[in-house]
Amino acid sequence: MKITSGEYKGRNILVPEHGVKPTSEKVRQAVMSILRPVLAGASVLDIFCGTGAVGIEALSNGAAVCCFIDHNFRVLKLLKQNLDTIVADPSRYRVLKHNCTTFVDAFSHDDELPVFDIVFADPFYDDTRTTFERIYENVFRVLKPGGVFIIEHGEKCAFSEYPYFTDTRNYGDTWITTFIYRKAEV
């Protein structure tokens, strides 16, 4: 698997043989296309990050910083290898081991809760329906007004009923749903 665009285009991403479902190149290209208007200088949160493919792709395309969160120690070890190999400046990323549905708690040692321009979530497809409510609730605690939240999922879900819903797109067996945080809608 390779980075598809930007500064790190063509660089290899290490992927474990099993245990993660890396976001495909086609889907990453679609996500970057959606984010392109807000990506330059953005702060990104990649939860359920796995190998870090989406967050690294965002850094490659102009995001200033990315925070990666996953609960799997083995996967995070591989992510750190990817970051060390691909992203030259370690001040551009942060890696946290934490439960992704309660990811806000990962920042409990920070002086204040960070805020992000973009949040990307890629839970295991089978878990999306059961974890979405908690993810959604926490995302809007750390997303800046005007920020973008994208969730990758394996089947069409009824997310259009949630505030800030923008659209859902299908790429083979993968769906991505986008929300834009318009604070006035509350």
Q: What is the pLDDT of residues 93-151, one digit of tens each?
A: 999 999 888 899 999 888 989 999 999 999 877 777 778 999 999 999 999 999 999 99
For residue 129, what pLDDT is reported? 75
Instruction: Give the DSSP letter of residue 161.
Output: G
* First-to-final CA distance of the chain: 40
SS3 labels along 55-107 = HHHHHHCCCCEEEEEECCHHHHHHHHHHHHHHCCCHHHEEEEECCHHHHHHHH
Helix ranges (DSSP H) in the chain: 25-39, 53-60, 73-86, 128-142
For residue 182, what pLDDT is reported? 87
Please state, in angstroms and rounded to a whole number, the distance separating the CA atoms of residues 125 and 147: 24
Please state, in angstroms and rounded to a whole number, the distance separating the CA atoms of residues 40 and 36: 8
For residue 161, what pLDDT is reported? 93
- Cα 72 from chain centre: 16
pLDDT above 90: percentage of residues in the chain: 74
pLDDT at 51 over 50: yes
**pLDDT tens-digit series, residues 136-148:** 999 999 999 999 9
- Work out whether strand 174-180 and strand 165-171 pair parallel, antiparallel, or are unpaired: antiparallel
The domain 25-185 belongs to what CATH superfamily?
A: Vaccinia Virus protein VP39 (3.40.50.150)
What mean pLDDT do residues 23-46 have?
A: 95
pLDDT above 70: percentage of residues in the chain: 97
Single-letter residue type at 165? F
